[in-house]
Structure 1
């Protein structure tokens, strides 16, 4: 049933039950403590009286009714006294109004020790007894008792007070608990209202911070962090969709055109092969474009599948050159590596190799035939730098700031023929950023381009 209630109502119910239980335990403890305290005071009074009766008895030579006036002496009512013979257990003397319903067991009286006061509760009475030796003539038992009216009256009063106070306390506890719950949940309700205004079309809104160092403010910070991650993810998805639809439209149109032309009439085998090869090239471009877009759409956490490690940058560059020697040979370009300084850096070598290979591949593609691509590794200003220099078409000065934009091509026709997607530089920059590096470009049109990859030494 409680599953259908709101958290505020659940907390109010639980708070009421807990306070009711605590007050119940407190009331019971108070009742028992008062009962014990009142009974103890009553026993103390009876003990004083019975010892006084004992002293008065020992001062007399005979047991007379004059010993029964303690009620007047102590101004204590009601008070009942009697003296029993220890052998016969019969009354020797007793007050005239001594209760007839007071009973005693002979074995209990026989077990009494001389000079020791004992107490016994019987129905509505509290009985005190003591055994004494009366001048070595005989042993007697003195009984002094009173009613428990004082005890009953005191306990009735406390019950009356508690029955009046407890409901009032519980009412105020419920009101106070409801107020505290309302005040505690007010910031959360404000957060919910603000969250309702945020939708997938606009994730730029953020919750207002309370500037307090409490759990609510921590929740707001974490929700804002979540919204920031969601906004980033939505932007990447939206950008991916936009980029994909824009960039894939052209090759798909080309493929459709090639197929339609091929199907208009019967063609020779060579013509069909030519149409298929053209379509295959466009499909290859589509595949590479999709892979590159997926790479760019991933966040840093998705890209990093390995732990950071310390490695030599010159070894990584040398491996990249070895893997691209065949590609360079096909483009009639020679690769040359100059290592002036060797230093360790900390990062993600597998990712960084992709960036270095992209830089080398771009240099090869845009170089003039029978030229070199020179890679130089050196130190400068506490940084280890890799420069990739080509002697090719270069980049116009007014276009150098756009080089890292998606799908940007300095020479669209040549890049297209080489199978490029215009995403290589964007991928390279993203990887370099992940590895805490920087990219700088120097280029002169029709002379060549030099790319500088800078990293902090370990």
Structure 2
């Protein structure tokens, strides 16, 4: 009905207050009405008691004369009287008299002939209140006096109270609504602060977060969820930005090379062999571009939470053996022998696909940056706390000043050789990311023109 939460709360508060005020007003009015009725009953009792001395032991009293005396004495008008003489022995009315026969219906009430002296009962008869009291007892006769007078339901007090409630209820309702509006605005002020903070966040400052200080517990979880959403959005945005920047930066060189090769080839007519050489260079650059794009997509799309959910128990020795078998075909192109020096049975909890990618990248790098007719060694050993995976080559090595930067994206220690061998500068960045996801440690030792040793420490489950 209302989209505004504040209006909803005010509407519900309004309905609840109407009900409460109506019930409370009705309670007050009925209580006052009962009070007025009690006053009427008290008058009837006092009048009934007052006539007791007027009764004589012999003879019957006349209801009309008694009614006249009571009206003059108490100024109660109209007042109707009925006197009943009840025969205890025969258990029937011996004699009765009415002050007004046309009002006889007011006394169509049960007679409590077995009641004790002074007992009085009250009955509602329309706008009248009728009482019946045993006031006198002589020999075998009981004397009852029954009085009837109008209920004072139209008294000035009740009228004043009724109109007071009609006037006061809307005023109280308005006051309550004003107070409720102030309280609701005050209660919702943290929500307004959160909205203000959210509006200030844009693509340029995704690192900002909604302040959780002085946030009510009812919306604290909502704010925490939104901050987590911002974190995920920032992470995704950064991946997209990195992919865009990295792709635009790295694709320039191979595309420039391809364009240059084509332009040179088209400047003059050439021999078929020359065209073949140009096409080979273009093919090599195209393969490099394809590989780079695949690796960029891998870095941009992989989510650590999704990866962790795909962890399972696996045999590390089998993963290593499979990786070696895969890389051997590639190593044959340079007549490099990939050899397992030592391997032990080992069981770990990891993502098998990613772990193979990491090991394959390390083995591929060892082959790429090793001279022809050389060797690459891999071994798997253990101690009490961890497994140690070692990859060793006797290749070109890495200079000491380059070692701190080799895990950065697109960093190449030997830029000329990396470009020539098809390197993208992303392989070790992917390896580091995969190992970080698994909480594995990697250490690289290298000597220029002597070789490189890579150690991966894997904690035992």
TM range, normalised to the smaller chain?
A: 0.7 to 0.9
Question: Which residue in the other structure is 2:97 paired with?
Answer: 92
Name the structure 1 match of 2:83: 83
Corresponding residue for residue 200 of structure 1? 203
Distance 2:443 2:317 in 1: 19
Which of 16-25 and 314-323 deviates more? 16-25
Q: What is the match of residue 298 of structure 2?
A: 295
2-structure distance, mates of 1:434, 1:83: 106
Name the residue aligned to 1:249. 252
Q: Does 1:104 align with 2:105?
A: yes
Q: What are the superposed Cα offsets for residues 118-169 of structure 1, whole Å, 9 maximum, x if unpaired? A: 6543443112347999879889874322322167555434323423432332
| Contact map agreement 1:19 1:170 (CA 8 A) in 2 | yes
Q: How far apart, CA to CA, are the structure 2 residues paired with 1:380 and 1:161?
A: 92
What is the match of residue 445 of structure 1?
448
2:89 matched residue in structure 1: none
SS in 2 for 1:336: strand
Find the aligned partners of 2:384 and 2:412 in 1 and give their Cα distance.
33
Tell me the SS of whatever aligns to 1:208: coil
Gaps of 5+ in 2: 87-91
d(CA) in 2 for partners of 1:289, 1:403: 17
The answer on 1:377 being equivalent to 2:390 is no
Question: Are 1:171 and 2:174 an aligned pair?
Answer: yes
Deviation at 1:421, TM superposition (A): 1.3
Three-state SS of the structure 1 residue aligned to 2:82 is strand
Deviates more, 1:276-285 or 1:247-256: 276-285
Provide the residue aligned with 1:432 in structure 2: 435
| Secondary structure in 1 matching 2:280 | helix
Question: Do 2:98 and 2:104's aligned partners in 1 also have CA atoms closer than 8 Å?
Answer: no
Indicate how the Cα distance of structure 1 residues 366 and 76 shifts in structure 2: closer, same or farther if over 3 A, else same: farther
Secondary structure at 1:201 match in 2: helix
- Give the corresponding residue for 1:355: 358
Q: 1:338 and 1:274, CA in 2 relative to 1: closer, same or farther beyond 3 A?
A: closer
* Counterpart residue number, 1:332: 335
Change in 2 beyond 3 A, CA 1:213/1:447: farther
Conserved in 1, the CA contact under 8 Å of 2:57 and 2:138? no
Instruction: Report if aligned partners of 1:133, 1:139 keep a CA contact under 8 Å in 2.
Output: yes
Aligned equivalents of 2:392, 2:51: Cα separation in 1: 123
**Following the alignment from structure 1 to structure 2, what is the Cα–Cα distance between the partners of residues 29 and 271?**
108
What residue is the counterpart of 1:14 in the other structure?
A: 12
Q: How many residues align?
A: 449
Deviations for 1:293-313, whole angstroms, at most 9, x for unmatched residues? Answer: 111113524752853222232
Aligned residue in 2 for 1:304: 307
In the alignment, the residues of structure 2 paired with residue 377 and residue 46 of structure 1 have an alpha-carbon distance, to the nearest angstrom, of: 111
TM-score (norm 2): 0.82
8 Å CA contact retained: 2:36, 2:152 = no
Distance 1:153 1:354 in 2: 97
Query: What is the CA-CA distance between 1:52 and the residue it aligns to?
Result: 5.4
Cα distance change of structure 1 residues 443 and 137 upon mapping to structure 2, 3 Å threshold: same
Give the direction of change, closer, same or farther, for the CA distance of 1:342–1:143 in structure 2 (3 Å limit).
same
CA contact (8 A) 2:409 2:426 kept: yes
Match of 2:26 in 1: 28
